[in-house]
Structure 1
Amino acid sequence: MHLLPTFPLRRWAAILLFSTLALPALAQSGNDQELFETQKRLSVGVTKFAEARTAVNAFISRRAAWVQKQEETPDQLTAEFVLPTRALGGLDSLAAGLGFVLENNLNAHNLTSRLQELKADEQDLQAQLALATLELRNPRLEEPKRQSLQEQAARYETRLRELRQRQQVVASHAGQAYVTLRLYDEVTFPTGNRKVSFVNMPGVEYGYLRLDNPKPGLSSRAYQGYAIKYMFTRGKSYFNLGVYKPLEKAEEPEFINELFVINFGQDFYPRNFGRGRRKFLNLYTSYQVGGFILNRNSDEDNEFIPNLNLGLGIELIKTRHILLDTKASYFVPLHDHSRDLRGILGQASFNFVF
């Protein structure tokens, strides 16, 4: 009578080899991120890549429990590592200080429920193995059936080892986070192309132009008006289209009674003033290039004059959905009589995600 299942020697050897090699590898594998209670994906664009890379490497060597993968190129760093959950705040602070955070996603899982599922699967397999073992004790069992049951029992044993190993891995990952960190030089995307992030942010703009040398009968001392401002990159790049009217009017035929303006503009954040990451009071420089149609009281002398504006501005409020900013620039018509039309241009605008 067979009291225990009798497995062929080669089959036992295969099971032993799997348990000594494959399962410990599973315990150290970070590919199955669901074995961790927290997964975090972080992407950061930086202006000083070499310094940022050194800071990230120092943080990983000091705080990471172990590193799954780390790849570096002259302008990118990709790292996957395990971090104690309590250290995630320090990682966020480091990222915010390095540059512009392009992505910061956090997912959490309940490991208790996962362990309960694995324990239930283990109990089901134990019951199936016990049933197969009981059938193998039957002395009247035919040889083909016995071999089939032995192979089935071997599969149950292997799956039980995998489940128990998996439970150990899940339990050992309590209080840990699997982090995928990508660091980019700010002038590149992950594809290596120029970093251009498009947005759809229409808005309105108020403008006040005060001329340096207004001439009586020719121009008012100041013009004001409204424009449509359409921002299409986070850069920020935009177009504006509007009309300025004189504060003081005159009846002379040569008097300029309207400026119809159209411009393309870009704003740039200084490297040492936060790079526009704050929600309030971001400093930036700007330029606008375009032109305006100069209308006079006499309809016969309308003309188009190109212009260039250079300025300095402050974003008063900046969120993911709205932007309120103001700036001052010097309005320079590129014209033979630019001295008569140049001056200080103040603008305030409100844009929103559409």
Structure 2
Amino acid sequence: MKRSLVILIHLLFVASLQAQPMMSQRLDASIIVMDLKAAQVKLNSLIETHQALILNSSTSGAYSNARQLTLLLSTNQAGFDAFRKELPALGTVRRFDLNTRDNQKEKESIEMELGFYKSQREVYTTEMTKLDPSARNKNYETMWEKARELDQRIFELEKRLLNRKQETSAWEVSLSIEEEHGEPLESADWDFVNMPGLETMVIAVENPKKGVSDAVYAGGGLRYMFTRGKSYLNLQVLKAMNTSSGDSTTARDMFVYGWGSDFYARYFGRGQNQFFNLYSGFVIGGTFMTSETINRHVMHVNPHIGIEIFKNQYMVLDTRVGYFLPLTEKQNQDFRGLTHNLSFNFVF
């Protein structure tokens, strides 16, 4: 009776192991933080709370000067779910990939493949027995080489199958935490895109001079954005709004061209929000100013601050306010002033 009870308990234990879901999950995450030391304190608290095991750990230098921390953690399912929920709170998520593997299905797939190769090996063995190996038969040598290849493949599959049979479930977290460097260019995303678009522009001249400059120039043109960072080329045609038709000396038309680059704010989403991303930047280029009697060209710079009203992977709608600064003394006095732009770009 006692022996039967032991056998029954053993069978129930084996059955419970077979009934367990043989699932493996791995989270690959990359997070940008403002302070690596503070983030590491929070991360250590998470590791201790959920009793995660550190399989691998490395930093980019000495702890006091570390700029990047890389960890590989092993935990249980509850801890894995907690890391998925709490890690995004450390900073700005750059990558957050979840991979799930069904070990049971993979084991069954290996067993099916192994059975096929074993049946092929039996066919070669049967055929080789019909040939005389001492007769230096070319067919025998070819079949012998094929049989050796099958043996090697069978060995590799049996080794993989043994590893899968020893696995039940596993949960791993591969984490990279990088400290924000702070240099403006490093905050930009330099992935190239093809996004043409339209742009309006208004210049409110600060000190218009009679016979030289108008109080307001307005118009529009094209803006071609070629990186998501974002960098772009623009070309606008502006008209004087208040100049009379009989005025032959005041600049009536302005042809403005330039190259611009914008940088997202570190503390307001780094450009990853769908609505209201704050940014600052500049445009540097040239301006052709024409009237009935004068045709001149000046270089200019236009620093600005703006907001992306709406953005997704297909389009960007943004507005910005800046200050138009011609780089020659005379035109700087007569044409400098506030600018306003409204732009719309789309993937082409």
Question: Smaller-chain TM-score range?
Answer: 0.5 to 0.7
| Contact 2:258/2:286 (<8 A) preserved | yes
1:327 deviates by 0.9
* AA matched with 1:347: N
Aligned to 1:305: 298
Aligned to 2:222: 228
Alignment match of 1:324 (pick from 295, 303, 317): 317
* AA matched with 1:318: K
Structure 1 length as normaliser, TM-score? Answer: 0.67
For 2:313 and 2:51, the matched residues in 1 are separated by 32
Aligned to 2:97: 105
Measured on the aligned residues, the alpha-carbon RMSD in Å equals 3.6
For 2:59 and 2:41, the matched residues in 1 are separated by 12
| Contact 1:122/1:163 (<8 A) preserved | no
1:215-264 Cα offsets, whole Å, 9 max, x none, are 44433322122232233333323322222122234332212121111223
| Contact 2:103/2:164 (<8 A) preserved | no
Q: Please identify, of 116-125 and 52-61, the stretch whose mean Cα deviation from structure 2 is larger.
A: 116-125
Aligned to 1:78: 70
For 1:118 and 1:296, the matched residues in 2 are separated by 80
1:344 deviates by 1.4
Pick closer, same or farther for the CA change 1:308–1:231 going to 2, 3 Å: same
1:281 deviates by 0.9
For 1:162 and 1:113, the matched residues in 2 are separated by 13
Paired residue total:
282
Percent identity, please. Answer: 30
| Contact 1:122/1:164 (<8 A) preserved | no
* AA matched with 1:166: R
* AA matched with 2:279: Y
Structure 2 length as normaliser, TM-score? Answer: 0.68
Alignment match of 1:63 (pick from 50, 64, 81): 50
Structure 2 residue 184 is matched with structure 1 residue 197: no
> 1:46-195 to 2 correspondence within 5 Å?
46-63=33-50, 65-73=52-60, 74-84=66-76, 90-91=82-83, 94-117=86-109, 163=161, 166-169=164-167, 171-173=168-170, 176=171, 178-187=172-181
Pick closer, same or farther for the CA change 1:270–1:157 going to 2, 3 Å: closer
Pick closer, same or farther for the CA change 1:215–1:121 going to 2, 3 Å: closer
| Contact 1:228/1:241 (<8 A) preserved | yes
For 2:232 and 2:99, the matched residues in 1 are separated by 35
* AA matched with 1:109: R
3-state SS of paired residue (2:165): helix
Which ranges in structure 2 are unaligned for 5 or more consecutive residues? 1-21, 61-65, 118-153
* AA matched with 1:275: R
3-state SS of paired residue (1:55): helix
Which ranges in structure 1 are unaligned for 5 or more consecutive residues? 1-34, 126-155
Aligned to 1:276: 271
For 2:347 and 2:164, the matched residues in 1 are separated by 46
For 2:73 and 2:269, the matched residues in 1 are separated by 28
For 2:292 and 2:110, the matched residues in 1 are separated by 85
For 1:89 and 1:236, the matched residues in 2 are separated by 35
